[in-house]
Amino acid sequence: MRGLHAFALAIAGCSTAAGSAAPAPVPVVVEHRPSSRSCKPEAPVAVTLSTTVIDPRRSAVVVTATPTRDVDALEVALALPPELALEVGAPKLHFVDVGAGEARELRAIVRLDGRRGELAAIARVPADGVVMARTVAAWLGEPVAPPVTRTYALPDGELAQEVRP
């Protein structure tokens, strides 16, 4: 999924001495914007997804969409897998006549209830009659364990990283 996976931070402080304050949750931010060297057609909008753990059951989410050209319409949306639920906020917001560089936000609280899933933030804008979208995603909850691999060189020097059963 686009962007580095953002893993929710484990809540610290369970075994800390009484009276010491738990460190403030740190937002995990993923961003995707039009690339100067990308040669596939791309939506003229940048998207940032910020997730902050509130407690083991909930995360605060902020989606920021910033068009890179004037647009007639801008839609900002969250796409949640079945494992996640929206507790506070709207899943989708619509804006009109947004100028280049003007940011629009969607704020929400997502409930995990001990589960995990990939949350996607989407910005949709029209460009020459085509509704284009840009998506960023972040994992909420415990990360998925990566597959077991081994790396080695092949006879011609090429390197391989092999997934083992």
CB 49, min distance to other proteins, A: 11
Looking at 3, 48, 60, 108, which residue binds other proteins (CB under 8 A)?
A: 3
* 114, 142 Cβ separation under 8 angstroms: no
User: Residue 124: which of 79, 61, 82 has the closest Cα?
Assistant: 79
Span near other proteins by CB under 8 A; candidates 9-17, 58-66, 105-113, 121-129: 121-129
Q: Is 21 in the site for other proteins (CB under 8 A)?
A: no
Q: Rounded to whole angstroms, how far apart are CA atoms 69 and 87? A: 33
What spatial distance separates the first Cα and last Cα of the chain, rounded to whole Å? 23
Cβ closest to other proteins, residue 23 vs residue 101: 101
73 bridge partner residues: 96
- Closest approach, Cβ 141 to other proteins, in A, equals 16
User: Per-residue x/- mask for other proteins, residues 35 to 54, rule CB under 8 A?
Assistant: xxxxxxxxxx----------
Residues 134 and 1 sit within 8 Å (Cβ to Cβ):
no
How far is Cα of residue 155 from the mean position of the Cα atoms in its chain? 40
Site membership for other proteins, residue 164 (CB under 8 A): yes
Please choose, out of 14-22, 55-63, 82-90, 119-127, the segment that lies near other proteins by the rule CB under 8 A. 119-127
**Residue 130 sits in the site that holds other proteins (CB under 8 A):** yes
CA distance 100 to 114: 39
DSSP letter, residue 37: S
Q: In this structure, what DSSP letter does residue 128 have?
A: T
Q: How many whole angstroms separate alpha carbon 78 and alpha carbon 68? A: 20
Does position 66 interact with other proteins (CB under 8 A)? The reply is no
For other proteins, how many residues bind (rule: CB under 8 A)?
A: 49
Binding site for other proteins (CB under 8 A): 1-5, 32, 34-44, 68-69, 77, 79, 118, 120, 122, 124, 127-135, 137, 147, 150-152, 154-155, 158-165
